[in-house]
A and B are shown apart, each in its own frame.
Chain A
Amino acid sequence: MDAEWAMTGLIMVPLAAAIVVYVTATRFVAAWGVAVAMLQTGLTFSLTRSILQSGPVQVPLGGWEAPLGIPLYADGISALMLIMTTLVGVTSTCYAAAYFSSLQRDPRRSSSQPSIQTFWPLWLILWSALNALFLSADVFNLYVTLELITISAVALIGLAGKAQALVAAIRYLFAALMGSLFYLLGVALLYSTYGTVSWHLLAETVQPDVLTWCAASLMIIGLLLKTALFPLHFWLPAAHANAPAPVSGLLSGLVLKASFFVILRLWFYVFHPVMPASAGWMLSVLGSAAILWGSIQAIRQQRVKLMIAYSTVAQVGYLFLVFGLACEPMGMLAWRGAAYLAFAHASAKAAAFMVAGSLMYMVGSDHLDRWEGIGRREPKLIFTLALAGVSLMGLPPSAGFIAKWLLLNAAIGHGRWEVAAVIVLGGLLAAVYVFRIIGVSLSSAVPMPEVAPVPRMMRWAPLVLAMAVIVGGIVTTEPIRLLEIGAPPIAAREVAP
């Protein structure tokens, strides 16, 4: 009973709050956001505890069973994704509250800046849609939640209001809508073949025939476009870099993970008996290309937010290595590694974007030349960036290290030395761009710059997130045990060619 309430609440609480703050246009809108964040923490905790104790939970909404009703389903990986969303969501909420209230108080900034009244309803709807996606038990619901996520995310980028941000938002919206329609066409084909949209039932009945293969390809291509896997990443850097400070972290941390989660679900829970191993291997090759291309582009950028956005292109590549490595006997390692990396990257990347947002707020620009010496003025922020960087590079002790270590072990266990080499090389390249930012900002060649003061919460929120990444590298037995619950039957998979 507890778990059912928690699952419904995770979706309904932010949705209801979004409607209330939009309709009443209350002045205490940030307080509503913080209240939702506290409730979400409690609900996530209670759901996770119940899954750890009694396994996966399925809830038919309103008592209507599938195929008529809309069921919700939560297993270990959904719980991990919900924890990720709550962690990034709560810190981003605090960060955004401080960011917008200081914008309002400062008359010089408020004219050109996004309005606080439009940020909160959009973010709360995004939060609700993310939770709904992680709890969905049918492929059509996944489509609806993906669209809700897209629409609210694009509107959040558009809040920045500048022409650059609008261009980025429009380009992202077209890419994401195309992706959704490819996915929906795949859903239509699946339904016409099997007469169900529940992925549990599909998993039992799926057959290796041409129509299924077409449906799977359409769905996965659409989702790759939304997840920005190289070479479909063209929309990502501008969209993530030009979004307002509290939004960039949400986009890189959470929105991309949503479509990745759908791919993970479909691939390992539904299609894995019928997909040829070469298809998985192809995704891994694209992932490797993304790691190298994204890292090199990140090193070449002059603007810090673009650098962090290209780093996201690279880290998304790591996530896709799992599809080529998920076969006997090391498949479980790769699967755990990818799921844990989604969590690690979300927290580290959101922290990095928050730090960049705070420093940009102080300096008025994110051009790296303007950041010279700023680290001596703001050591805490640069320390936070370094902690997040440790995870992005994959150094111990951090959640990123654990995840990449699992992937590396899987690659070596399969004798895939080229993949292992890419994993290590990607870490080295990440070190180049992280140290470049830290090096410039700690430079003592210039006098200590004069900067605008930043609200205290804009220092603390990213630090909390970065500490969580480090804790995730030390406390690992609980998350790994969580991932065992409802894990897909990878052991039954044949070896790749």
Chain B
Amino acid sequence: MTYPTLYAICGVVLFGIGFYGTVFCRHLIRKVMAVNLMGAGVFLVMIALAARTPSGAPDPIPHAMVLTGIVVAVSATALMLALIRRLHHQTGLTELPDQMEH
């Protein structure tokens, strides 16, 4: 197994852990971290696969995509935190209520 493949598999495992956390963690901050872990997993896959070119020189396009992805992840995290802070300020909740209150 080559190093890039190993890293790519690590990325998929991270993605899976993050997915589990996003679905099953109750605390909202844990959920935010789990979503970010999913994102980190995808970025790791992209970086790892960029190294698998025939010439051996890394492919710059996935790197550019990861940069864009990081920008998106930062903005999304900021929005998540802002909403969670507002919710906590108004209601004191740190978890989403179980039953769907319409």
Could you mark each residue 303-338 of chain A with 1 if its beta carbon is under 8 Å from any beta carbon of chain B, else 0? 100100000000000000000000000000000000
**Cα–Cα distance between A161 and B69 once the two chains are bound (Å):** 29
B97 interface contact, C-beta 8 A: yes
B-facing residues in A138-155 (Cβ within 8 Å): 140, 144, 147, 150-151, 154-155
User: What are the residues of chain A within 8 A of B12 when measuring CB–CB?
Assistant: 185
Asked if A147 contacts B62 (CB within 8 A), the reply is: no
Could you mark each residue 140-175 of chain A with 1 if its beta carbon is under 8 Å from any beta carbon of chain B, else 0? 100010010011001100100101101101110110
A298 interface contact, C-beta 8 A: no
Partner of A170, one of B19, B68, B84: B84
Asked if A185 contacts B45 (CB within 8 A), the reply is: yes
**Cα–Cα distance between A154 and B46 once the two chains are bound (Å):** 27
B1 to chain A, nearest CB (A): 16
**Cα–Cα distance between A280 and B89 once the two chains are bound (Å):** 45
User: What are the residues of chain B within 8 A of A38 when measuring CB–CB?
Assistant: none
Partner of B83, one of A170, A188, A197, A234: A170
Which of A90-98, A176-184, A369-377 lies at the interface with chain B? A176-184
Closest to A176 in B: B76
Q: A155-B79, A164-B101, A238-B100 are in contact. Are A188 and B62 (CB under 8 A)?
A: yes
Partner of A178, one of B35, B80, B84: B35
Asked if B102 contacts A173 (CB within 8 A), the reply is: no
Partner of A173, one of B19, B65, B69, B76: B76
Could you mark each residue 179-201 of chain A with 1 if its beta carbon is under 8 Å from any beta carbon of chain B, else 0? 01100110111011000010000
Asked if A163 contacts B102 (CB within 8 A), the reply is: no
**Cα–Cα distance between A172 and B39 once the two chains are bound (Å):** 17
Asked if B96 contacts A192 (CB within 8 A), the reply is: no
Best-surrounded residue of B31, B79, B84, B90 (most CB of chain A within 10 A): B79
Q: A163-B90, A166-B83 are in contact. Are A181 and B75 (CB under 8 A)?
A: no
Asked if B35 contacts A177 (CB within 8 A), the reply is: yes
Q: A174-B31, A181-B39, A238-B100 are in contact. Are A166 and B68 (CB under 8 A)?
A: no
A381 to chain B, nearest CB (A): 23
A390 interface contact, C-beta 8 A: no
A405 to chain B, nearest CB (A): 34
A444 to chain B, nearest CB (A): 29
User: What are the residues of chain B within 8 A of A301 when measuring CB–CB?
Assistant: 102
Can you list 22 contacts pairing A with B, beta carbon distance less than 8 Å?
A: A144-B72, A154-B83, A158-B83, A163-B87, A164-B101, A167-B87, A173-B80, A178-B22, A178-B38, A181-B15, A181-B18, A181-B35, A181-B42, A185-B15, A185-B45, A188-B45, A188-B46, A188-B62, A191-B61, A192-B49, A192-B62, A237-B100
- Give 15 A-B pairs besides A144-B72, A154-B83 with Cβ atoms closer than 8 angstroms: A140-B68, A147-B76, A158-B83, A163-B87, A166-B86, A170-B28, A170-B83, A177-B35, A178-B22, A180-B72, A181-B39, A185-B12, A185-B41, A188-B62, A191-B61
- A-side residues, CB < 8 A to B, are 67, 140, 144, 147, 150-151, 154-155, 158, 161, 163-164, 166-167, 169-171, 173-174, 177-178, 180-181, 184-185, 187-189, 191-192, 197, 234, 237-238, 241-242, 301, 303, 306
- B-side residues, CB < 8 A to A, are 12, 15, 18-19, 22, 28, 31, 35, 38-39, 41-42, 45-46, 49, 52, 61-62, 65, 68-69, 72, 75-76, 79-80, 83-84, 86-87, 90-91, 93, 96-97, 100-102
